[in-house]
């Protein structure tokens, strides 16, 4: 059954949708560049020198990048497949959830990429410290600060 919004809410939903898509454009570009870079790594000369841990991390971050791509592109797919079906409210809400999940996975993926690079260059100890620090920074900037600030402003 379509979720036909109240005519007064339609403008708000359209604004929310447009804001969501603008945010997706920012995220999507970075994720696509990261994924493209990761896809080239096995074809480099040094890839054969990676140890089992490094290969495992590489495969995990490549999978994370692909899953992040799927999550941040999902809102566009939802919109296209449900266009003119009266599902704008669902599309905005589901798209929002996908982007939040995509950002969470992106934080893990980027931290894993940092782990891999620092492990290859400086060793596993420095890699673990760097990846852990990155996760903390992502968690603070992408989750803790916004959640804390949500209490200051009501839902529009």
Flag whether 35 is in a domain.
yes
Calculate the alpha carbon distances from 37 to 44, 98, 131, 139, 144 in Å. 11, 23, 19, 24, 30
What is the reported pLDDT for 3?
58
Q: Is the pLDDT of residue 1 over 50?
A: no
* CA atoms of 20 and 14, how far apart (whole Å): 10
pTM equals: 0.88
**Is residue 25 included in any domain, yes or no?**
yes
Summarize pLDDT for 106-117 with one digit per residue, the tens.
999 999 999 999
**pLDDT tens, 20-40?**
999 999 999 999 999 999 999
Q: Does residue 120 lie within any of the structural domains?
A: yes
User: Does 1 fall in a domain?
Assistant: no
In a domain? residue 42: yes
pLDDT band of 86, cuts 50, 70, 90 = confident
**pLDDT 10s digits, 37-64:** 999 999 999 999 999 999 999 999 999 9
Domain enclosing residue 23, as ranges: 7-150
Residue 87 has pLDDT above 90, yes or no: no
Report yes or no on 156 lying in a domain. Answer: no
Does a structural domain hold residue 143?
A: yes
| Mean pLDDT computed over 131-140 | 98
- Could you give the number of structural domains in the chain? 1
């Amino acid at each position: 059954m379509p979720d036909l919004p109240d005519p007064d809410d339609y403008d708000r939903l359209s604004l929310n949708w447009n804001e969501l898509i603008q945010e997706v454009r920012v995220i999507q570009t970075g994720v696509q560049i990261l994924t493209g870079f990761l896809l080239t790594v096995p074809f480099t000369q040094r890839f054969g020198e990676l140890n089992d841990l490094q290969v495992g991390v590489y495969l995990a971050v490549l999978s994370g990048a692909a899953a992040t791509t799927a999550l941040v592109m999902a809102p566009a797919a939802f919109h296209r497949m449900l266009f003119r079906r009266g599902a704008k409210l669902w599309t905005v809400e589901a798209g929002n959830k996908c982007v939040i999940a995509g950002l969470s996975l992106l934080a893990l993926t980027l931290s894993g990429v940092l782990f891999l690079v620092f492990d290859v260059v400086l060793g596993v100890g420095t890699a673990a410290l760097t990846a852990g620090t990155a996760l903390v920074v992502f968690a603070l900037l992408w989750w803790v600060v916004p959640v804390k600030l949500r209490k200051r402003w009501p839902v529009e």
